[in-house]
Structure 1
Amino acid sequence: MQPASRSQKVVKKHYEDTIANPVSFEQYAHLLEPDVLDQLKQLFPSGQAQMWGIVPGQREVNVAHVKKMSAGDWVFFTGDKRLYLGGTIALMWRSPELAEELWEKNDNGQTWEYMYALSGTRGFDIPMDEIRSLLGWKSTRNVMGITVLGADDSDTLQTYLTLDPAPAAPRQDDPEQDDRAVAAYDGELERKATRAQRGEQAALKRRLLPGLTGQCALCGRELPGTFLIGAHIKKRAMCTDDEKRDLDNVAMLACTFGCDALFEHGYVTVAEGGALQVSPLAAAIPEIDTHIQERLAGRTVTWWSPKREPYYQWHRTHTFKELPPA
């Protein structure tokens, strides 16, 4: 978790210079090590990438945190009581010279020399109170410095915000480590669903699909029930018990021909009133963009209703893929 309050003048300028406006490799090639430059070009064929950095800190307090970070990790930016940006660390390197050129030095004479490039970024607008509650933090806890979360908190946050994997350099781990971990793993290989949950899912689909066929809420096609699922509008794991029992409103039918996955991963959402919205990030993936334009663009979702609106609103806020804030 990267603290970066854009209400602070310095942070705002850094954000505008290297996140809102990605850094050109060609312009700064003379300050990039050849191997770093090569990796950046492979990861970002466009020749530019969003970049951020971390200062060593007094007595190098941040260095221990930096050592726990690696390419492929999720990163979330927080500030002004909000979580507002998420993405993947695509590459990490150290360059005092480039950092000083991009961001100068702070009042302590340090620069943000532990640098990383970001891929797959998207914008959020989530109150930190909500994040604290999700992770079981004290109400007074704030992200004051670079914070590396444990595996459980990381998985919880990534699932909550539906951050998808993005291009990243290979990890510098032992290549046999993953194979050894699988061989040595003696825990459960499958997560067992409880009977209650299975019963709930069956009841949900029966409620939404009383006959042999039904209509996909998103594309509107009438399809055999085999190809429709009861898709939660708000993530089931984040629903209260009362919301889980609200079978008439908490879910909708979505087809397995792409609509369920597009909604689940935030490439489409439903606006208040029922207009289907398309994520501006969908255009970057031609196959997804083509499917949306052919099947979904311009549709009005008849499944929308005032009672379902709170669930659609949650999806728009937490799952729908917005552009990073300008």
Structure 2
Amino acid sequence: MTVFAQPASLKRPAVREHYEETILQPVDLTSHVDLIDTQVMQTLSGLFPSGQAQIWGVTPGINGANLSQIRKMQPGDVVFFSGSKRLYLVGTVALTWHNPALAHRLWGVDDRTEQTWEYMYALTGVRGIDFPMEEIRSLLSWNPNRHIQGFVALRETDGGILKDLVGFEDSIHGSLLPDSEEPTTPPYGPSDAAADAQRRAEQGRLKKALLPGAEGECALCGRTLPRAFLVAAHIKKRAACSEEERWDLNNVAMLACLLGCDSLFEYGFVAVEEGGQLRISPVAASAPPVAKYIEEHLADRSIAWWTTEREQYYAWHRSHTFQLGALTPDQVNN
């Protein structure tokens, strides 16, 4: 699984128009069946039964500069969109294919390169985020002046950190790049045993601080459960915490149950508003079992675990992890 950075400044009128017409408003696939290869259309129809998909594309670049990067992309990869000095959108690649004619119809031609965005990809799980580039540079130990200036596959370590921030899991679909352009994914390297040991130790410290006894209360659903069914869940992702924040044991984490609440918070289906009111993601409605669990255990709850000291961590979770749809250009540019 590879993580890509996709520059797309919504301050540029053309990019804004493309974003509004093929991301904010998904593309009606049936309207373009005359330009879509039969095999591609069949695959898209299976992936998107509604007949609509959020689509983006990449130009070949001057002298084919983007080709080495786009050939790495395959279904299951993750793409972060950047612009206005932030990462503002993330999604999972559902399908990749090559179609100059469809790209020209949807987006025309880039007036700077006279190329169209013919290396196309459809996205699933699209959500708006707000990761300031200053934060990203610090998190990934980048040069303070570094910007994302071109479509690029990130280093495995950098991509893994960003993927962890938004709780993306690996998924597998089919790729429809031309055979000669079929990407290969390099195998992951060995795990960092020292880092794993440190994380386990931190989890132990957190759980001991939050749960000294044999039973505890889930901060989200409020149920009292045996120790084995509760975890110390980071409110702000561990990877994004400073050393000082990691040692803020009484505030940076909360007890969450393994019966559902931990995963719902981890993957952004629920968040905690300032003041403690539980907020439900609109994405939950698309998964009936998830929506049913929320309705039975979390609907209309106010979280007693919220405090002013913990608000900074809950605020981070709302802006970085909570699942919203694609942000509007005005939301991104403000």
2:130 equivalent in structure 1: 125
The alignment status of 1:245 with 2:247, answered yes or no, reads yes
1:33 equivalent in structure 2: 37
The alignment status of 1:71 with 2:75, answered yes or no, reads yes
Alignment check: 8 A CA contact 1:88 1:168 kept: no
Q: How many Å separate the matches in 1 of 2:214 and 2:61?
A: 64
The alignment status of 1:11 with 2:41, answered yes or no, reads no
Structure 2 length as normaliser, TM-score?
A: 0.88
Structure 1 length as normaliser, TM-score?
A: 0.90
Q: How many Å separate the matches in 2 of 1:256 and 1:304?
A: 20
Flag the 1:11–1:198 CA change in 2: closer, same or farther, 3 A.
closer
Alignment check: 8 A CA contact 1:87 1:118 kept: yes
Flag the 1:241–1:49 CA change in 2: closer, same or farther, 3 A.
same
1:147-201 CA-to-partner distances (Å, cap 9, x unmatched) read 111222211110122234466325889xxx99xx79xx9x56977843x655543
Aligned residue-pair number: 318
Flag the 1:135–1:204 CA change in 2: closer, same or farther, 3 A.
closer
Sequence identity percentage: 48
Flag the 1:189–1:10 CA change in 2: closer, same or farther, 3 A.
closer
1:147 equivalent in structure 2: 152
Alignment check: 8 A CA contact 1:43 1:169 kept: no
Residue ranges of structure 1 left out of the alignment (5+ in a row): none
Q: How many Å separate the matches in 1 of 2:176 and 2:195?
A: 31
- Tell me which moved more, 234-243 or 212-221: 234-243
Alignment check: 8 A CA contact 1:5 1:80 kept: yes
1:175-214 equivalences in 2 (<5 Å): 193-194=196-197, 198-214=200-216
Flag the 1:242–1:37 CA change in 2: closer, same or farther, 3 A.
same
Flag the 1:68–1:125 CA change in 2: closer, same or farther, 3 A.
same
1:319 equivalent in structure 2: 321
1:288-313 CA-to-partner distances (Å, cap 9, x unmatched) read 11101111011000011111111111
2:331 equivalent in structure 1: none
SS in 2 for 1:281: helix
Flag the 1:68–1:283 CA change in 2: closer, same or farther, 3 A.
same
Q: How many Å separate the matches in 1 of 2:129 and 2:316?
A: 12
Q: How many Å separate the matches in 1 of 2:25 and 2:169?
A: 22
Which is greater in Rg? 1
2:332 equivalent in structure 1: none
Question: How far has the Cα of 1:247 moved from its partner?
Answer: 1.6
Alignment check: 8 A CA contact 2:127 2:325 kept: yes
Which residue identity does 1:310 align to in structure 2?
Q
Q: How many Å separate the matches in 1 of 2:284 and 2:20?
A: 23
